Amino acid sequence: MKLFNEDFIRKDSKRMIKFANPVENHIDVKITYACNYKCEYCYQVDDDGHRFKGVFEEKNINNLINFMKKTKLKYIVSLVGGEPFMYPRLNEFAQKLIKNGHRPNIITNFSAPFEKIEEFINIVKNNLFNFGISIHISQINSTEAFLLKLGKLMELKGIWPVWITCVITEENFDKAIEIGEEIKKTYGITVYFQRVYYREIYNIYSERIENYFKTHNIDVPKEKTGNINFFGNYCWCGIKSYYIDHNGDVHRCYTPQACKNNGILGNLSKYRKIKIFKKPYPCLSSDNGNCICFKHFIDEKYVTNYICTNAELKNIPSQILPSAKQKLIEKKNKYKMEIENKC
Ligand code: SF4
Ligand code: SF4
């Protein structure tokens, strides 16, 4: 399966992670905030620790299909939560996507009864893009039961990959290594370590853990990119990629944008009116200028995002000029001040 165009590989990370332009188009849909876990580091909660609420409405499944038709593109559609297997219309949604030529992608905490997972797999078959599992150690009652379930999944596995991550804390680190090694030994799958993300910053750990990350290179690649500022660069988000919230709001990308409505292009309830950029548009990330929207990554070498390559920039009539960039920065600073004044 070709995930990106190798001709476009870029090496502009300070840490020399290779960036590639994805061939695929991508939409993330927040289908539910509901989750049966209570992870200590969950960031889908408000300042008082209450979980965000909301479910993707049934009518918006068809509205989304219609919106995708309007864009004339085929997408990988990530069905994300909360816990996606708690979304009552998961199978129906996946079926409709496939019927219309799109490919579902799932990221789960893997706690659903296996029969439910099996039912989903029988529906998506080899149209599934990827089966993503996020291990949350404090919430797993039995490692043995987890591994047995993983074994059952591997028996059903189609041509799609199983991608496993584990969120690391100082407390669970040793256990995470143990589980990771067991999974590697039994199923040949590398478990990637995910940093806790809190208030726009990826956590930095004690020396012992940081050294382990460095020597084993199993840090989730996108999280090695925390220092990269994409603000002002042209990005394909809003053309080839979108993020859709549970209420149907269509965002340009995950990272709030320092522009009107935080980069919301419209709502699925009025899908005909959703703004689609006609050409790549500068990144206006208000999130410290960082991009947390990397879409895919393949082993530890490649990260893909939607920033334009130099080759593509040549074909964009109005490239961003230093003076224009300066204006964008001023706009961003003004926006940040406005937000701070409101808080
Ligand atoms: S599984 Fe994910 S959504 Fe659920 S509590 Fe844990 S971090 Fe939050
Ligand atoms: S935050 Fe990332 S995905 Fe969003 S516009 Fe900027 S570079 Fe593109």
**Span 93-112, pLDDT tens digits:** 999 999 999 999 999 999 99
Residue 224 has pLDDT above 60, yes or no: no
pLDDT, position 227: 45
Residues 6+ apart with CB under 8 A from 239: 71, 276, 277, 278, 279, 280
Q: Pocket around ligand 2: residues whose beta carbon is below 6 Å from it?
A: 230, 235, 237, 252-253, 255, 283, 285, 291, 293, 305-307
Looking at the domain assignment, is residue 304 inside a domain?
A: yes
Report the distance separating Cα 232 and Cα 281, nearest Å.
9
What's the average model confidence in pLDDT over 232-249?
89
SS3 131: strand
Looking at the domain assignment, is residue 274 inside a domain?
A: yes
The string of DSSP codes covering 268-281 is: GGGGGG----SS-E
Looking at the domain assignment, is residue 1 inside a domain?
A: no
Residues 6+ apart with CB under 8 A from 207: none
Q: For residue 233, give the ligand 2 atom closest to its CA.
A: 7
Question: Total structural domains in the chain?
Answer: 1
Q: Which domain holds residue 293?
A: 6-342
pLDDT, position 24: 79
User: In angstroms, what is the span from residue 219 Cα to ligand 2's centroid?
Assistant: 21
Report the distance separating Cα 213 and Cα 220, nearest Å.
9
Distance of CA 127 to the CA centre of its chain: 19
Residue 63 has pLDDT above 90, yes or no: yes
Residue 342 has pLDDT above 70, yes or no: no
Ligand 1 pocket check: which of 83, 165, 197 to mutate, most ligand atoms within 8 Å of Cβ?
83
Q: What is the mean pLDDT of the chain?
A: 81
Q: Domain of 201: which CATH number?
A: 3.20.20
Split at pLDDT 50, 70, 90, the class of 216 is confident
Residue 31 has pLDDT above 90, yes or no: yes
